[in-house]
Amino acid sequence: MKQLTISERLGLVRYRNQSKTKAKAHIEVETDICNTTCQHKCTTLVCPANCYTLDEMQQVHFQFEDCIECGTCMYACDQGAVKWNYPDPEIGRGIDWNFG
């Protein structure tokens, strides 16, 4: 069976408020902490939706749009950089599972 890439996988996810251009972020990440004091930058590997990425300078970047609301990052980050909330049903992002 052909393995799917992460973008193909996320392409199967039904996101909310997809038509809205500017959704309200439900997770805030102080990437300054990731890029100064954090030694492991583990969110870039544990996030199942690839919301945390490393650039060629090994700097962490975060986007909430692809988030599937799993919660992993709020436990994995032991540096206090992740402020996690549930997305607002009206103006936030987040998911509706078809199967779950």
Partner 1 sequence: MEEDKFDCIIVGGGIAGLSAALTLAKANKKFLLIERGEFSGAKNVSGGVLWGTDLNRLVPNYWEDENAGFERFIKHRKLTFADHESGFSLDFKSAHYETPPYAGLVVLRSKFDNWLAGKVEEAIAESDFAEDSLVATNILVEEIVKENGKVIGIRAGEDVFHADSVILAEGVNNLLTRQIGLQDDYVPADYLATGIKEVIRFDQKVLEDRFQLDGLSGMSNEFVGASITSGIEGGGFLYTNKESISIGLVLGIKDMREKLKKSGKSIYDVLNDFKAHPIIKDMIKGGEVVEYSAHVVSMGDKRVMPKELYADGVLIAGEAANLLMNSGKAIQGMDYAMHSGILAAETVIEAKEKGDFSASSMKNYRTKLENSYVMKDMNNLQGAVHLLHDKTLMNDVPNLVCDFAKDFFTIKNEPMQPTRKIFGKAVAKHSSWLDLIKIGIKGAKAL
Question: Which stretches of the chain bind partner 1, using CB under 8 A?
Answer: 1, 3-4, 6, 9-10, 12-13, 16, 40-42, 44-50, 68-72, 74-76, 78, 80, 84-90, 94-100
Buried b (16+ CB within 10 A) or exposed e, 69-97: beebbeebbebebbebeebeeeebbbbee
Q: Output 19 or 98, the one with its CB closest to partner 1.
A: 98
Minimum CB distance to partner 1, residue 51 (Å):
12
Minimum CB distance to partner 1, residue 64 (Å):
15
Q: Output 33 or 76, the one with its CB closest to partner 1.
A: 76
Instruction: Kindly tell me the sign of the dihedral angle through the C-alpha atoms of 96, 67, 72, 25.
Output: negative
Q: Output 62 or 87, the one with its CB closest to partner 1.
A: 87
Rg of the chain taking only CA atoms, in angstroms: 14
Distance (Å, whole) CA 68 – CA 9: 11
Q: Output 62 or 94, the one with its CB closest to partner 1.
A: 94
